[in-house]
Amino acid sequence: MNGRFPATRPRRLRRSEALRRLVAQTSVQPGRLVLPLFVKEGIAEPQPVASMPGVVQHTRDSLRKAAVDAVQQGVGGLILFGIPAVKDARGSAADEPAGIIQLALRDLTAEVGDDTVLIADLCLCEYTDHGHCGVLADRDVDNDATLDRYAAIACAQAAAGAHVVAPSGMMDGQVGAIRSALDQAGYPGVAICAYSTKYASAFYGPFRDAAEGAPRFGDRAGYQQDARRTTEALREAELDLDEGADIVMIKPALAYLDIIRRVADAVPVPVAAYQVSGEFAMVEAAAARGWLDRDRAIMETLTAISRAGADIIVTYWAAEVARRLS
Ligand code: PBG
């Protein structure tokens, strides 16, 4: 104190936007945002997703246009989810060369493949008739039989042009199985973004409408992580790195900022965070009622995720935010 007045005044650096911008220690960059896109087989028009305003299930045609638009806005990557017309117990459509995800990857490779990163979500829940992320033995997901399926899917996605595959099923050993399958099939350059730490979360609710992959019975608590656990995230990331992961992902983002920080401090590879459907829906729903300022809330959540240590952020707002930032 200097007499009655403080000698130190942190407010000095908050006096103008120019100052605040100069001293900002966190930034959200368009080139590090990834936009999720859904493509559905056998539809003639894009289908809106009721719980995700502005998000649609694309036709192949509308997907191409959405991808071009997102790339023009400056987003860094696209992550693709396919919804097949026919589902079965083993999720056959996931690795058929003419399966919807493979067709879409080929379309996008031709359209934007040189200008952006094409990431293929690699899971079975959109493709199985029971909605679980793997094949079943009795009523439980059979880990090791599922690894064979993931290996085949990875190769099909790589053949269709995926630059990165992103296994999201939380099976033990999935990264290693996929890495060796890709290498043997002649795709050593295809990277793996491992959903290393995927919590069993209520925030995936709207996604299950978008991707039509809700489990028909039971839940995913037997393979996704429990929200009460912490060090397991470090263990999963470490295992995935040993198995050959190039990027590790944490999901959801906002309710797991502490986990993003811990993983980011521990690993020497880029860290991605997935701002999931429920995080999106929560802000959109409140904003629609006039309960919060939508644009500010969006930027604040992305800033928080970046501040927690995420290098890459997957967000349904990627194209919009990229446009706003540029
Ligand atoms: C599939 C998968 C899910 C999400 C991404 N990949 C759903 C789930 O595990 O139930 C969720 C994404 C989101 O909610 O936006 N394994």
Whether 10 is covered by a domain: the verdict is: no
Q: Which is the closest atom of ligand 1 to the Cα of 215?
A: 10
Q: Is residue 11 situated within a structural domain?
A: no
Examine residue 1 and state whether it is found in any structural domain, yes or no: no
The predicted pLDDT at position 326 comes to 87
Confidence (pLDDT) at 138: 87
Q: Which of 125, 127, 170 to mutate to test the pocket of ligand 1 (most atoms within 8 A of CB)?
A: 125
From atom 11 of ligand 1, which residue's Cα is the shortest distance away? 204
Residue 311 lies in a domain: yes
Q: Is residue 168 in contact with ligand 1, taking CB distance under 6 Å?
A: yes
Runs of H (alpha helix) within the chain: 17-22, 60-73, 100-112, 143-159, 174-184, 205-210, 231-243, 257-266, 277-288, 294-307, 318-325
What CATH number does residue 145 fall under?
A: 3.20.20.70
**Residue 306: inside a domain, yes or no?**
yes
d(CA 157, CA 124) in angstroms, rounded, equals: 13
pLDDT value of residue 296: 98
Q: Identify the pLDDT of residue 19.
A: 97
pLDDT value for 176: 98
- Please list the ranges in the chain whose pLDDT falls under 50: none
Q: Please state the domain count of the chain.
A: 1
Which residue's CA is the closest to the ligand 1 atom numbered 5?
A: 168
- 257 belongs to a structural domain: yes
pLDDT of residue 2: 65
The verdict on residue 16 lying in a domain is no
Contact 57, 46 (CB under 8 A): yes
Whether residue 30 is preceded by a cis peptide bond, meaning omega within 30 degrees of 0, is no
Residue 198: active-site member: yes
The CB of 276 under 6 Å from ligand 1? The reply is: yes
Q: Which domain holds residue 295?
A: 28-325
Q: What is the pLDDT of residue 30?
A: 97
Residue to mutate, 126, 168, 283, ligand 1, most ligand atoms under 8 Å from C-beta: 168
Q: Is 192 in the pocket of ligand 1 (CB under 6 A)?
A: no
H-helix or E-strand spanning residue 166: strand 164-167
Closest residue by Cα to residue 54 from 288, 312, 324, 309: 288
Answer yes or no: is 215 within a domain. yes
Q: Which of 222, 219, 134 is nearest to 174 (CA)?
A: 134
